[in-house]
Structure 1
Amino acid sequence: MALITCDNISLAYENNVVLSDLSFSVHAGDYLCIVGENGSGKSTLIKALLSFKRPLCGSIQFGDGLRQTEIGYLPQQTGAQKDFPASVWEVVQSGCMNQSGLSPFYSSAQRSLAQETLKKLDLWELRRRSYRELSGGQQQRVLLARALCATHKLLLLDEPVAGL
């Protein structure tokens, strides 16, 4: 069964239709790359998949037990993200927040996941540094680590190699 099925969706950005009658499905293990010119609707599609934006028509369905909280997301970098006042460790560990429910504390498994992910992305030595002090490429890797901590089911990456 598909994790996500889009059926004849149309999307608009600032009252301009950018995608129309788009249908596709994504299954576990799939890699889907969306390419297009600036302003062609790539980021708008990702926002619709995250339920941040509603399609003008058509439907987006989640299957195979996928919940909204199980989607990891690496957004495009913005100026606000670059000046975020937290340590690398705090940013990466915050990816586990959706798994914590009402608990204000991270479990030992979540802390271990954050540690393993930092090491895999060669960020462990930077864990105590302020996120805002990092280069653009380092910041992008930190945000990727955060997204990887958020899920093991589905990852949506918007311009993931920008700044790397």
Structure 2
Amino acid sequence: MSNNKPLIKCNQITLGYGNKNIVNSFNYEINTGDYLCIIGRNGCGKTTFLRGLAGVLRPKAGKIELRDNLQRKHIGYLPQITVTQKDFPASVEEIVLSAFQGKSLLLPFYGRALRERANECLALTRTENLRKACFRELSGGQKQRVLLARALCAAERMLLLDEPVTGLDPESSQNMYNIIKELHEQKKMTIVMVTHDVEAATKYATRVLDFNTMFNN
């Protein structure tokens, strides 16, 4: 599905925390239509790289270029779920609408267009029937699909997913994979997913990036 047109180009980037570099002098291109899976052992730089792509972590050296008119606002980011997020005392609708904070000038009153977009994302992740439910009372799989809906609200062209099925049972994991596959194939979304599931990477990805031997950490 990739058309080999670069959306993101990494030029000699170095990423890390404090005095520790984790990703060193790395060159890579992500193309329109990619379903890129990033695999590798814990600590090898997968999440660090994804955070760099998301703009959460700035490169210590080098440059991450957005190409083909891609903007940060076109990129949705689903980080690993935290304990605090799991217990967040808000409705599903409130969680998803929070993706638009900073885009609406009349917060907390969201306009019709933003609410329609939120409803669309709930439908895409099969969570529209949970709209009024309390987030903290959902199952693990339901919570992850709601957070995916939230990420989708910000994603017009690209989704960055950090281990989206971690901690989920097999059925919930398969539901997530099916939704992500549909987003890629039917909504033409470029996907970048960090995963430990090599079988899923082989099955769904159009490209696989193996960080195991990439850097000497």
TM-score over 0.5 for the alignment? yes
Tell me which of 67, 86, 92 is aligned to 1:88.
Answer: 92
Q: Quick check: 1:158 aligned with 2:179?
A: no
Structure 1 runs, 4 residues or longer, greater than 4 Å off: none
Tell me, what secondary structure is at the counterpart of 1:34? strand
Identity of aligned residues (%): 48
Greater RCO between the two (CA within 8 Å, min separation 6)?
Answer: 2
Who is 1:102 aligned against? 105
Q: Which amino acid in the other structure matches residue 88 of structure 1?
A: V
User: Could you give the per-residue CA deviations for residues 58-103 of structure 1, whole angstroms, max 9, x where no partner exists?
Assistant: 11111222222221010101101111121001111222335x2534
Residue 53 of structure 2: aligned partner:
49
TM-score of the two chains, using structure 1 as the length reference: 0.89
- Residue-by-residue CA offset, 1:128-159 (whole Å, 9 max, x unaligned): 11111111111111000111111211111111
Where in structure 2 are there 5+ consecutive unaligned residues? 174-217
CA contact (8 A) 1:13 1:44 kept: no
Task: Provide the alpha-carbon RMSD of the alignment.
Answer: 1.8
- Aligned to 1:137, which of 117, 135, 141? 141
Aligned residue in 2 for 1:10 = 14
How many residue pairs match? The answer is 163
- Contact kept in structure 2, 1:9 and 1:21, CA below 8 Å: yes
| Residue 112 (str. 1) matches residue 116 (str. 2) | yes
Which residue number corresponds to residue 129 of structure 2? 125
Structure 1 gaps, min length 5: none
Q: Would you say the 8 A contact 2:12–2:27 is kept in 1?
A: yes
Cα distance in structure 2, aligned partners of 1:118 and 1:96 = 14
1:72 to 70, 73, 76: 76
Q: 2:14–2:61: 8 Å Cα contact kept in structure 1? A: yes
TM-score, normalising length from structure 2?
0.69
